[in-house]
Amino acid sequence: MDLEVSGEIWEWRGPAPYYFVTVPKEESLSLHGSSPDASYGWGMLPVRARIDSTEWSTSLWPKDGGYVLPLKDAVRKPLGLGIGDAVTVRLTTVDQPTGRRQRRTEAPRRPAAPSARPGGPRGPRVTDDQLTIVPANEASWQDLEAIFGSSGDPSRCWCQRYKMLPKETWANLGPERLAARLREQTAGGHPNAPATSGLVAYLDGEPVGWCAVDPRSANPRLLRNVPIPWVGRTEDKNDDSVWAVTCLLTRAGFRRRGISLALAGAAVDFARRRGARALEAYPHLTEPSHLGTRATFAAAGMAEVSRPTKNRAVMRIDF
């Protein structure tokens, strides 16, 4: 059975946060009519799910006589989806192979507690004499590769979430092409380049952090598909004099030591020196993300000017 369902993302606050979309009542009734062989126990219903070009295998969870669809972070985060966002999902039910062992006496597992943060316990906060922040064109490409790593979301995205053009996705471009785009945007290793799109932080000479900061209009997807900067505001989307921080990334093993805070402060100075009229950021309020936190940008001198959704803020400083 194929179904298309739409709904808002909500969060279950259990031992670990988990995100769901509720299947509407009519569609849930249709799914109840599926073959009993489709469920592998406890009422769980295996499906293939697709949002745009992203497709994955999962199971619908029974709830209040209907179903809810879990959204794992590996799907949700690359698509830039958070609490309160509306999504449309294509669902295809999957019959279980004949003879598969049915486990009907156990309760479904709740999401496990989150693993320890990369890098272990919080290390000592960095000091000004330890940390150096430079424009990305003064850094080498090898240093950026070290920061983005070879696994996890950064190595798949390469800070291209807001740079994509219509019909482009992480899947149809692939990490190698995305990395090549970032290399071109930063002009790494070319200190005389006329423009660069970010900052790189070094701790005692080791590359440890990245901040994407450039004109807001240089981010096509931010202008086209992401409503957060524009809700309730009369802003000219093509105003090159307004800049934006669209990513704050600290390398695994160096997090929770004040590196993002230092990068946010450096981004304010960088935008001002490059002729920006204002600088904005769009942090999540309810979950850690590459967009930074409200407190981080407030400490850098930015003020909240808008609360477009319950979990997002627009922070800004005018020069």
Task: Return the CATH number at 85.
Answer: 2.40.30.100
Give domain status of residue 100, yes or no: no
Q: What integer pLDDT is reported at residue 111 of this predicted model?
A: 36
Give domain status of residue 178, yes or no: yes
- pLDDT > 60? residue 27: yes
CA–CA gap between residue 82 and residue 244 (Å, rounded): 20
The reply to whether 146 and 221 lie within a common domain is: yes
Tokens of 200: 């790189």
Give domain status of residue 248, yes or no: yes
pLDDT digits (tens, 9 = 90+) for 247-286: 999 998 898 899 999 999 999 999 999 999 999 999 999 8
Share of the chain above pLDDT 90, in %: 42
Share of the chain above pLDDT 70, in %: 86
Q: Which residue's entry shows tokens 């850690």?
A: 288
Give domain status of residue 172, yes or no: yes
The reply to whether 29 and 136 lie within a common domain is: no
For 122, half-sphere exposure in the C-beta direction (CA atoms, 13 angstrom radius) is 7
Burial of residue 268, with CB atoms counted within 10 A of its CB: 0-12 exposed, 13-18 middle, 19 or more buried: buried
The reply to whether 256 and 139 lie within a common domain is: yes
The reply to whether 148 and 242 lie within a common domain is: yes
Give domain status of residue 16, yes or no: yes
Tokens of 229: 């900067």
Write the DSSP symbol of residue 318: E
Domain boundary among 93, 123, 145: 93
- pLDDT > 90? residue 70: no
Taking the CA atoms of residue 309, residue 182, residue 302 and residue 270 in that order, the dihedral angle to the nearest 10 degrees is -160
Give domain status of residue 108, yes or no: no
CA–CA gap between residue 35 and residue 1 (Å, rounded): 10
The reply to whether 66 and 140 lie within a common domain is: no
The reply to whether 184 and 299 lie within a common domain is: yes
Mean pLDDT of 225-244: 92
What CATH number has the domain bearing residue 212? 3.40.630.30
For the chain, the domain total comes to 2
Give domain status of residue 112, yes or no: no
Domain boundary among 41, 76, 93: 93
Give domain status of residue 107, yes or no: no
Q: What integer pLDDT is reported at residue 305 of this predicted model?
A: 95
Long-range contacts of residues 30-33, Cβ cutoff 8 Å, at least 24 apart: 30/1, 30/3, 31/1, 31/3, 31/60, 31/67, 31/93
The reply to whether 46 and 144 lie within a common domain is: no
The reply to whether 173 and 24 lie within a common domain is: no
- pLDDT > 60? residue 42: no
Taking the complete model, does pTM exceed 0.75, yes or no? no
The reply to whether 184 and 237 lie within a common domain is: yes
CA–CA gap between residue 261 and residue 257 (Å, rounded): 9
Identify the CA nearest to 78 among candidates 49, 55, 59: 55
SS3 157: helix
The reply to whether 165 and 227 lie within a common domain is: yes
Domain span at 44: 2-93
The reply to whether 139 and 84 lie within a common domain is: no
Tokens of 104: 């009907």
Residue 52's contacts (CB-CB under 8 Å, 6 or more residues apart) are 79, 169
Tell me the CA distances in angstroms from 313 to 118, 278, 283, one per residue in order: 26, 16, 6
Mean pLDDT of 216-222: 92
Displacement of CA 115 from its chain's centroid (Å)? 19
pLDDT digits (tens, 9 = 90+) for 136-173: 999 999 999 999 987 788 888 999 999 988 888 888 88
Domain boundary among 71, 93, 115: 93
- Higher pLDDT: 16 or 189? It is 189
The reply to whether 229 and 305 lie within a common domain is: yes
Contact between residue 278 and residue 284 where contact means Cβ atoms under 8 Å apart: no
Mean pLDDT of 94-108: 42
- pLDDT > 50? residue 197: yes
